[in-house]
Chains A and B, each alone.
Chain A
Amino acid sequence: MNMIKRKFFEWLPASLMFLGLLVLWQLAVSGLGLREYILPSPAAVAHALFSSEINWTGHIIVTGTAILGAFLIAAIGGIALGTLTAWSTVMGRALMPFLVFVNTLPKVAVAPLFLLWFGYGIFPNMLIGALIGFFPVVINTAVGLTQIDEDMLDLGRVFNAPKWKVFAKIRIPNAYPYILSALKVTATAAVVGAIVGEFVASQSGLGYVIITSQSSLNTPLAFGALVWISILGLALYGAVAVLSRVLAPWAEGQEN
C-alpha cells in the first residue's frame, strides 16, 4: 500500500506534465484554428491511431523486428568486439582505429548503400540501426573489462586462475554496469536506424507510414506512427532497464 502510494507520488509530476501538454496542444489547435495537415489535434491523432484504414499491427511488427534485430546485432557484435580488444593488446591496437573510423562515418549516408547491397527489406534496416548503435557497446565493454581494481586481478593471480576464468568470473561481471548503460544508448540508436532505413526505401513499417502519409497530407497518420515508434522505443529501453536490474543489481544507482 505504502509502496503504491509512493510510486503514485513519484509519477504524479510527469503524468500531470504530460496531461497538461495534451490539453495545451488541443487548446492551441482549436483556439488558433490550425489546419489538420499542419498540426492535428490530439483527438485527431487518437482517432488515426485506432482507425482501420491502416494495418497498424503489420507495420508495427515490421518496424519492431527491425529495431529488435538492430539492437541484438549491435549488442552481440559490440560486446564481442569490445571483449576482443580487451582480451589482447595487439587485437585492440589493430581493431580500435578501424572501429573509430567506422564510427565517424555519417551512418545515415551509408543507408542507401546498404539497401543497394542487401536489397529492400528488414535486414538492411537492422544493419543501419546496428551500425549506429554498436560503438558505445564496444567502448563500454572494453572499458568495463579493463578498468578494474588491481587488487581484484591479484586475487586471480593468487589462485593461478587461467585468463579466461579471470574474464568469466571477475572482468565480465565487473563490466556489466558499463555494458548495460551502453545498451540503453543502443536501444535508442536501434530505433533511429530502423526508421532511417524505412525512410530511404521500404514498402512497409512505421517509417514507411510517415513517408506515405506526407504525400497524401494525412498528418494525423504520421503522428500516429510517431506514437507507435516511441512506444516501441520505450518498451526496448524499459526491457534493458529491467535486464540491468536483474543482471547487475549491485550497480543500482551507480550507472547513468
Chain B
Amino acid sequence: MKNIIELDQVGMVYETGSGPVEALRDINLAVGEGEFISLVGPSGCGKSTLLRVVAGLRPMTSGTVVVGGVPVTKPIPKVGMVFQAAVLLKWRSILDNVLLPAELAGLNPRDYRTRAHELLELVGLSDFSGKRPNELSGGMQQRVALCRALLLDPPLLLMDEPFGALDAMTRDDMNLELLRVWGETGGSEGRKTILFVTHSIPEAVFLSDRVVVMSPRPGRVAEVLDINLPRPRSVETRASAEFGKYSLDIYDLLTGRQSGESGSALQGLG
C-alpha cells in the first residue's frame, strides 16, 4: 500500500497576542492510500490544526508534510474538506452552496447539478435545495457541508467532526453512507482516503481502519490502534464484543485509566 500522507516530526506553534501556543509537537503519521483514519483526542489538542496543516491551509512551523509524494507548501489540490463549522455562504441557496466548489475550481456548475441533487438526496435534504442556510438546523447545515466536500468526488477527504451536531440515529445513518461513499464495498482498489476527526469513540471505531489517539496540548500521537473489525460493517458490528473492547481501549488511552470493567466506556467524550 502506497502512502498518500506522510507527516514527519510535524510541529505547529501559533503566534498569538498573548504569546506562542504550541498546538502540535513531533507528529509522525503515515496514511496509506484508501485508508480510513480517525483522530480522537481531548478538545484543544490540535486535531483541526492537523487537518489544516495537511490541507496546506496553514504552514507548519517544523517538520514536513508530504501528500501524494509532493511536499506541502501551499493548499493541496483534489481534496474535500469538511470544516468543524459548516461554513456555508449565507447568501446562497443550499444547492448553490453545494455547487460552490465547481464554480471556484472554474468548472461549469451546470454539469454538476444532477450530482449535487443526488448528494442532497443521499443526506436526506432534497427538499431543502432552494432554502437558505439560516433556514436549516445546525445538523442539516453540516450535512450540506458534507455534500459540498463530495461534489467533485475528491480522492482525499479531510473531515472535522462532520457529524458532531447530529442526533444518534441520523449519525449512525450518515456513518453508513460515508462508508459507502468511501468505497467500503468496492474492495480496497479505488477507495478514497479519509482523515476523520471525531469526539465519539464508537464512531471512530465503527468507521476506521486505524484510530489515532492524541494527547492533550501540545498535541502528540499517543497511540495508533488497528481496528481489525470485518468489513463491510453494519449495525451488528456495534454489538460485537471486539467493538466494545476497542472502544474501551481508546477510552482508557484518553483518560489514562487502567483497563477496567466500567460499562460507561461507550459514551462519547463530549
Contact = CB atoms under 8 A, between A and B. Distances in A.
B130 to A, nearest CB: 13
Contacts of A155: 81, 83, 87, 100, 104
Given A158-B55, A160-B75, A165 B104 contact: yes
Interface residues of A, number: 20
Interface in A96-149: 149
Contacts of B222: none
A10 interface: no
Contacts of B83: 151, 154-155
Contacts of A158: 55, 57, 75, 79, 81, 101
Contacts, number: 55
Contact of B57 (A154, A174, A176, A248): A154
A152 B104 CA distance: 12
B87 A169 contact: no
B104 A169 contact: yes
Interface string B50-67: 001001110000000000
Given A161-B105, A176-B91, A250-B91, A154 B52 contact: yes
B101 A159 contact: yes
Interface string A163-191: 00110011001101000000000000000
Dominant secondary structure at the B interface:
loop
A173 B90 CA distance: 9
Dominant secondary structure at the A interface:
helix
Contacts of B106: 165
A152 B55 CA distance: 15
Which residue, B75, B81, B91, has most C-beta atoms of chain A within 10 A?
B91
A250 B87 CA distance: 15
Contacts of A173: 89, 91-92
Which residue, A155, A159, A160, has most C-beta atoms of chain B within 10 A?
A159
Given A165-B104, A169-B100, A152 B75 contact: no
Nearest to B154: A158
A160 B77 contact: yes
Interface of A: 149, 151-152, 154-161, 165-166, 169-170, 173-174, 176, 248, 250
9 contacts: A151-B85, A151-B87, A152-B87, A154-B57, A157-B57, A158-B101, A160-B75, A165-B106, A174-B91
